Structure 1
Amino acid sequence: MTETLDGRHIVVTGGTGALGGAVVGKLLEQGAVCHVPNAHAAAPSHFPFTTHDRVRLAHNVDLSDSAKVEAFYHQLPELWGSIHLAGGFTMAPVEKIESASFAEMMDTNARTTFLCCRAAVRSMLASNTAGRIVNVSARAGLEPRRGSGMVAYAASKAAVAAMTLAMAEELKGKGILVNAVAPSTLDTPANRTDMPDADFSKWVSLEAVAEAIAYLASPANLAMSGTLVPLYGRA
């Protein structure tokens, strides 16, 4: 088995976001073909790979819609990897969390991850591919006591972590490796704007997270499965 990603097809959900752009860029450097589902009718203007010859954008794909997720994965060439970055974040004291807000967090983070994992597994099993799945949990999902106001977010990311472990165990005899990264605060322009007084040097760089994800998704990863990789920077 070659240890490169040359010509291998990898899905990157959330690929047009800040972390997504870093991950797509890293995978392209290693020769992968990136399939990026986008919820909107066009890619955002800041996405740098719209015209790249190894980036396949698919628009109007609602990742919380089971039928649309299945249709997106069904039309892909032989799938090597699926990386699930799509998600959201919200904060509120527990007494102020509405039922709809809690459900939205679970849909945005946990449901989308499940639907994409399921579709990816179906594709890999159909083609007998010993592929790679990488999910994104969060520090709050592994250490929910660390912050306040994150009950819904922590629960949704804890669900992602639990799914990752359960799937890795279920699929270990079929050659599909399933892992997740769990970053703390990412050093993104949006986070710097929202938290201007924070010490940015303690945050996790997009490059560091992209590097970890690319390794977990690569053929060079021969044994890691069922691993939740904490990426906490200096925090």
Structure 2
Amino acid sequence: MSKGAVVMVTGAAGALGRAVCEMFLARGDTLVAVDLDAQALQTLYGDNERVQTVATDLTRWDATDAALARLPGLSVLCNIAGGFDMGPAVHETADALWQRMMALNVTTLIHACRAVVPGMIAAGGGAVVNVAAASASSGKASMGAYCAAKDAVARLTESMALEVREHGVRVNAVAPSIIDTPANRGAMPDADPTRWVSPRDLAAVIAFLASDQACAVNGAVVPVVGLS
């Protein structure tokens, strides 16, 4: 990916999404910033002529297809959209929690890829970077639905990498530990955030995986765990 590429970032209004957008903008790229929150997109990117904002619900294919059908040719897709909820034990997990974790973390990824990857194949190349989770490398108590969803992201990354490599499209993922966000600080006030991964540092790894410097990297799920 050369500088001046067109990069789509989902979850662009979130803490990590903002850091990823800032990283690519600093490189001179053009962005398609996608999020459910139209007002946040306008506030963050409305005055930047190198950012096209798209407010849509990526959990719905009809909305995704309608919103992304006429986008310019994309070189990079960063699937940052996702979500986390603690849960009860697996045998007590309600359908709503299971469906929410799968929708936010897996369905959004599949819909974005369905909309974007065919264009990359037609153009002869591109890069996709997904966000898995270090905690999903094994099951965790009260996190069954989340771990299952993020493990699905890792396995889908590996499958896609094999499916599209002959078309010049690379697919990789990062697997961060706890990300230093205001929400996580609020949820864990007694923890030491200096041992967490900053959004900017994680964004740097994502940008590397999307770059030509990572041309030999495909199908990797890269741990980004800081000092945790």
User: 5 Å matches for 1:167-178?
Assistant: 167-178=160-171
Question: Match for 1:129 among 124, 133, 146?
Answer: 124
Please give the alpha-carbon distance, in whole angstroms, between the structure 1 residues aligned to 2:47 and 2:53. 9
Q: Following TM superposition, by how much is the alpha carbon of 1:15 offset from its aligned partner in structure 2, in angstroms?
A: 0.7
TM-superposed deviation, 1:65: 1.1
1:89 paired with 2:101, answer no
Say which SS state the counterpart of residue 43 (structure 1) adopts. Answer: helix
Taking structure 1 as the reference length, the TM-score comes to 0.91
Indicate if the aligned counterparts of 1:74 and 1:123 stay in contact, CA closer than 8 A.
no
Aligned residue pairs, count: 227
One-letter amino acid of the counterpart of residue 113, structure 2: C
What SS is found at the alignment partner of 2:76?
A: strand
Selected match of 1:68 from 53, 63, 73: 63
**Partner letter of residue 64 of structure 2?**
V
**2:185 maps to amino acid:** R
Match of 1:14 in 2: 11
Given that 1:13 and 1:20 are in contact with CA atoms closer than 8 Å, whether structure 2 keeps it comes out as yes
Cα distance in 1 for partners of 2:121, 2:87 equals: 41
Q: Match of 2:39, SS?
A: coil
Please identify runs of 4+ aligned residues in structure 1 that moved more than 6 A. none
Query: Are 2:208 and 1:215 equivalent residues in the alignment?
Result: yes
SS at match of 2:64: helix
Return the match for 1:49 from 40, 45, 51.
45
Paired residue secondary structure (1:118): helix
Structure 2 counterpart of 1:189, from 173, 177, 182: 182
User: Are the aligned partners of 2:33 and 2:41 in contact in 1 as well (CA < 8 Å)?
Assistant: no
Q: Secondary structure at the match of 2:112?
A: helix
Partner of 2:30: 33
Report what 1:5 is aligned to.
3
Structure that is richer in helix per residue: 2
Contact 2:176 2:225 in 1 (8 A): yes
Unaligned runs of 5+ in 2: none
Tell me what 2:158 maps to. 165
CA–CA distance in structure 2, aligned partners of residues 77 and 160 of structure 1 = 26
Aligned to 2:133: 138
d(CA) in 2 for partners of 1:27, 1:129: 21
Post-superposition offset of 1:120: 1.5
SS of aligned partner of 2:174: strand
Q: Cα offset for 1:200?
A: 1.0
Q: Is 2:116 the partner of 1:120?
A: yes
Over the matched positions of the two proteins, sequence identity in percent amounts to: 39
Does residue 202 (structure 1) correspond to residue 195 (structure 2)? The answer is yes
Which structure 2 residues correspond to residues 147-162 of structure 1 after superposition, within 5 A? 147-162=140-155
Structure 2 letter corresponding to 1:19: L
1:139 Cα deviation after fit: 1.0
Describe the SS at the equivalent of 2:207.
helix
Q: Which residue of 1 aligns with 2:104?
A: 108
Per-residue CA shift, 1:126-169, capped at 9, x if unaligned? 3x23100000011122x223x32110000000111110000001
Deviations 1:29-67 (A, max 9, x none): 00111101221342268x5433112111112x0101112
